[in-house]
Structure 1
Amino acid sequence: MHFQSVALSDRGLNREINEDSAWIGSQIIAVADGLGGHAGGEVASAIVINRLAKAEKKEFTKESVHDLVIEITAKANGEIAKKIKDSPKLKGMGTTLTSLITTEDKVALIHIGDSRCYQFRDGKLTQLSKDHTLVQELIDQGRLSVEEASAHPQKSLITKALMGNSETEPFIQLINVEPDDLFLLCTDGLSSVLNESEISKILREDGLTEIAVDKLKDAVYKSGAPDNITLVLAKLTSEATHTVGILGAAAVVA
């Protein structure tokens, strides 16, 4: 199985730089949202996305994907830690990561932070990833409703990210897929602005097209685009795609 994808990474209206990064490959797609502002979020997101891009040629199976992903993210964490050691002003930088990797007949979801993975099947949008945030923990504990969470003053507080800590590992899960499944990976610059109904309407109308990508971006812009916006829209195909590339900060950060 291979991915056929369309994607974009955009600075938005209120941020000076784009700290998001993304990779679209034949067997790996991913988005990463850099954390830390002036402390180098764009560096951290570029590190993990470049690590995944280098892994594009590896052979991922249902048996090997877990260990390979742990190895990739451990190396990314090590590189982030070294950057911070060499340049203390970068202390506090980190990145989310949400990725899908194809295996024989399933896809592996790799997730840490608050970027998201959605599956669009039979006209229904389902969030496959679970936010690593304070408000999600409060929801899980029954102390906060989903509606209350959207207005919580600490709704953006992340509880888990790749920040150079060798003990931090992503959530990894094999996902069953069907031929017509559509997947959306996005940073919170999109998911914190558009609700699932708004996203579903666009995917239902336009599917896997540049038009859908542009409509999602335009909808975020109409709501002020307060953050960087990065998204990958993909479906599975039997033929390897030649559309591969790095987007966002990873395309410009050495």
Structure 2
Amino acid sequence: MSSAAAADGTQAAHDGGDTASNPAGGIRLSFGFGTDRGLRRELNEDSFLASDPIFAVADGMGGHEAGEVASRECISVLSRQAILASGSRNATAADLQLALRQADQRIREVANARAGTTVTGVVLVEERGVPYWLVFNVGDSRTYRLSQGAFGQVTVDHSEVQELVDGGYITPAEALVHPRRHVVTRALGTGSDSEADFWLVPVEDGDRILVCSDGLTAELADEQIHHAMSTLTEPQDAVDSLIQSALRSGGRDNITVVVVDAGNVHAAANAETQTTPGKPPWTRSRCRACPKPRLAQPQIRL
């Protein structure tokens, strides 16, 4: 079944996977999803949306209950956006940007700037008959892509440590243990910067997309994630395995995972824009253009 859910329970919420197809586009999506409170958190402040054509994960921040409200409101706005909820796959970056701005405004109204949320995910769209993943991101939740054997992170974290890495001040390995690794520089609902970044990536037959909160990536290295993504055939099996692995590694935060498989992709081979798997042809990411870390008004994840 498709799901738009705000996790709040004491155990993993594994609602099962689903399959959706679009006769006009010929693309068949199979997906799985799950969330877990983790071993140390009292509440699950993650929320997620898994409903063709949009798949998203929001990770709330702001302390007791407030983060849960922020992530839930974000997902609620996305699920109510007509063009995203229609299943027609005709959404554009402008439609998605409008929905994210509405979510930002709604969170500020409800939480009175006491809470915020990260959000990331993909929307399956078509441009002149060619299918694309429209990837979006605000904060440090992540979207990955496994395509033709190549696995990589599509999104770029909006965090202090990512900007330090981009500026050459620290290495990626040092970022994993940096004392400020949980400080984000963009979020919906709080702070002065809530602008999303977007990537438009051609869909290839057999693509597998992973959307997750940092409760997964803080516990598992990319190599461990790649292994589960590449060896488990069913999306729901990959979701369950990743969540359990994160729990065994410590489960220090809420963990939410959505895995989406694309099959029967006929138009992708005729796309005018071809890219190396995992390398988007277009992006609007101000962080990468910064000559030095932009550390103003960080938001500390609680």
TM-score category, normalised to shorter length: 0.7 to 0.9
Letter in 1 for 2:173: E
Structure 2: stretches of 5+ with no match in the other structure:
1-26, 266-302
1:127 corresponds to which of 143, 153, 175: 153
2:41 corresponds to which of 15, 29, 41: 15
In 2: Cα distance, 1:165 partner to 1:68 partner: 23
Q: What does the per-residue CA deviation read over 1:17-41, in whole Å, with 9 as the maximum and x for residues that have no partner?
A: 0000000011000000001112600
2:211 matched residue in structure 1: 185
Pair 1:130–1:68, CA change in 2 (3 A) = same
Q: Tell me the CA shift for residue 236 of structure 1.
A: 2.0
Higher helix proportion (structure 1 or 2): 1
Q: Tell me the CA shift for residue 207 of structure 1.
A: 3.0
The residue correspondences of 1:87-102 to structure 2 (distance < 5 A) are: 91-102=113-124
Q: Tell me the CA shift for residue 3 of structure 1.
A: 3.4
3-state SS of paired residue (2:95): helix
In 1: Cα distance, 2:193 partner to 2:164 partner: 24
1:157 matched residue in structure 2: 183
In 2: Cα distance, 1:33 partner to 1:132 partner: 13
Letter in 2 for 1:234: V
1:37 counterpart = 2:37: no
Structure 1: stretches of 5+ with no match in the other structure:
86-90, 240-254
1:230 matched residue in structure 2: 256
Q: Tell me the CA shift for residue 209 of structure 1.
A: 3.1
In 2: Cα distance, 1:74 partner to 1:2 partner: 30
In 2: Cα distance, 1:35 partner to 1:9 partner: 16
TM-score by length of 2: 0.73
1:79 matched residue in structure 2: 106
Q: Tell me the CA shift for residue 233 of structure 1.
A: 0.3
2:54 corresponds to which of 3, 24, 28: 28
2:97 corresponds to which of 70, 87, 103: 70
3-state SS of paired residue (1:38): coil
Q: What does the per-residue CA deviation read over 1:102-141, in whole Å, with 9 as the maximum and x for residues that have no partner?
A: 1111110111100000001233311000000000000010
3-state SS of paired residue (1:119): strand
Pair 1:69–1:125, CA change in 2 (3 A) = same
Letter in 1 for 2:86: K
Pair 1:39–1:7, CA change in 2 (3 A) = closer
TM-score by length of 1: 0.86
Asked if the contact 1:193/1:220 (under 8 Å) is kept, the reply is yes
Asked if the contact 1:2/1:238 (under 8 Å) is kept, the reply is yes
2:169 corresponds to which of 143, 147, 166: 143
More displaced stretch, 203-212 vs 15-24:
203-212
In 2: Cα distance, 1:182 partner to 1:76 partner: 27
1:57 matched residue in structure 2: 86
Letter in 1 for 2:208: L
